[in-house]
Amino acid sequence: MKSSARELTYAEAIRDAFAVALERDPRVLLLGLGVPDPKGFFGTTLGLQKQFGADRVMDMPCAENGMTGVMLGAALNGLRPVINHQRLDFALLAMDPMCTQAAKWHYMFGGAMKMPVVFRMIIGRGWGQGPQHSQCLHSWFAHIPGLKVVMPTTPHDAKGLLLAAIEDDNPVVFIEHRWLHHLKGEVPAGHYTVPIGPARRARAGRDVTIVAFSYMVLEALEAAEKLAEDGIDAEVIDVRSLRPLDQSLLLASLRKTGRLVVADTGHSTAGMAAEILAIAGESAFGSLRAAPRRVCFPDCPTPTSPSLSAEYYPRAGHIVAAVRATLQRPPNDDDLLVPAGAELDKPNPAFTGPF
């Protein structure tokens, strides 16, 4: 409902989703290291413990592995927990309960049980976070049958997809990008869901399809504006959900444009962008008018030094360059120029942390 929409940041939208879920369903509980902290998990859990009580909005020991298993047991016994990780990297301590237990429960026990649990993770970028605080491993989770994986880009989708994830009867990996937390957008008040699965056409275009994940959707939209100056009309697709994946929208776009660039927030090797390229090759080979391209992280750990970040993280210019290649246009050195004084290591000049 348009009338009830108001402008919120992405982080506020997440908080709003939690408040709605906790209010509606007493089985929902939030848990994570730092969830009740004064800074409220980057603002996403502010005040929730005071509102809903310490037995539903819980801090936890540094025990990601054990704690995740405990919440799986709680989910089996009727609760609907959300486990929060301030970094995706920390969730890796819980790969066994997430991938070998949660993802297998329904199948291994003959389809008898639901496993309603949300694993919420945040991806860092820049600001000196380095190798152990900025990994983007969504493709790991998308690889596992039994898990669902969503990566919303807008505040509207963040709230709607988080509520959908909490209400889903399967384990859902919910991945946010730290650089999206300050993004503002219209968010309806009260309860609504964005169904898990459908991708979003963020910009319509004729000449090339740019498929992007999470924060890279913003870079893709910026790239599309630059390309428009050169008369290139790019379509931008915000994938939103990796598994299930909206193949039909991707393929329909590709059949229209014949050209594909995938902009991912992770490494290229064996990554989600590679999966999209494989789908294009297998299902729309005849429509391809040029070799598809990927814009991803290079194959090395994230450097901490700000001087290396400019080289490390792909941005709009890299997408523009990739699009030019699919159109057999000559490369343009200006695409990758960094304006003097630009800080590529921060989401915006006003940003002072925390990470």
Interface pick for another protein out of 195, 230, 281, 300 (rule CB under 8 A): 195
Q: How many CB atoms lie within 10 A of CB 276?
A: 25
Least separation in angstroms between residue 354's CB and another protein is: 27
| Residue (194 or 227) nearer to another protein, CB | 194
Q: How far is the CB of 104 from another protein (least distance, A)?
A: 9
Active-site residues, by number, are 64, 133
What Cα–Cα distance (Å) separates residue 24 from each residue in 188, 191, 256, 335?
16, 9, 43, 49
Cα–Cα distance measured from residue 242 to residue 231, given in angstroms and rounded to the nearest whole number: 31
- Total number of residues that touch another protein (CB under 8 A): 55
Please state, in angstroms and rounded to a whole number, the distance separating the CA atoms of residues 21 and 276: 33
- Residue placing its CB nearer to another protein in the complex, 83 or 261: 83
Q: Which residues in the 123-142 window bind another protein by CB under 8 A?
A: none
Q: Which is nearer to another protein, 156 or 346 (CB)?
A: 156
Please give the helix or strand (H or E) that residue 320 lies within, else none.
helix 316-326
Query: What letters, b where the CB count within 10 A reaches 16 and e where it falls short, cover 166-185?
Result: bbbebbbbbbbbbbbbbbeb
Distance between CA atoms of residues 309 and 313, nearest Å: 6
Using CB under 8 A, which residues numbered 237 to 276 contact another protein? 241, 243-248, 275
Between 9 and 241, whose beta carbon lies closer to another protein? 241
153 forms part of the interface with another protein (CB under 8 A):
no
Confirm or reject binding of residue 71 to another protein (CB under 8 A): yes
CA atoms within 13 A on the CB side of 269: 4
| Single residue of 108, 270, 300, 337 touching another protein by CB under 8 A | 108
Place of tokens 């650089």: 179
Q: Scanning residues 48 to 67, which ones bind another protein (CB under 8 A)?
A: 55, 61, 63, 65-67
Each residue 291-330 as x (binds another protein by CB under 8 A) or -, in order, gives: ----------------------------------------
Please answer whether residues 89 and 132 qualify as being in contact, where contact means their C-beta atoms are separated by less than 8 angstroms: yes
Q: Based on the shown chain and the rule CB under 8 A, indicate whether residue 164 belongs to the binding site for another protein.
A: yes
Q: Which is nearer to another protein, 232 or 245 (CB)?
A: 245
Cα(3)–Cα(189) distance, integer angstroms: 9
Q: Which is nearer to another protein, 279 or 310 (CB)?
A: 279
Pairwise CA distance, residues 77 & 105, whole Å: 13
The SS3 call for residue 106 is helix
* CB-based contact 261:290 (threshold 8 Å): no
Q: Is residue 96 involved in binding another protein (CB under 8 A)?
A: yes
Under the binding rule (CB under 8 A), the answer on residue 152 touching another protein is no
Instruction: Say whether residue 77 binds another protein (CB under 8 A).
Output: yes
Q: What is the DSSP letter of 4?
A: G
**Residue numbers 3-42 binding another protein by CB under 8 A:** 29
Non-local (6+) Cβ contacts of 260 within 8 A are 208, 209, 211, 254, 276, 277, 280, 288, 292, 293, 326
The residues binding another protein (CB under 8 A) are 29, 55, 61, 63, 65-79, 96-97, 100-101, 106-115, 145-146, 148, 164, 167-170, 193, 195-198, 241, 243-248, 275, 279
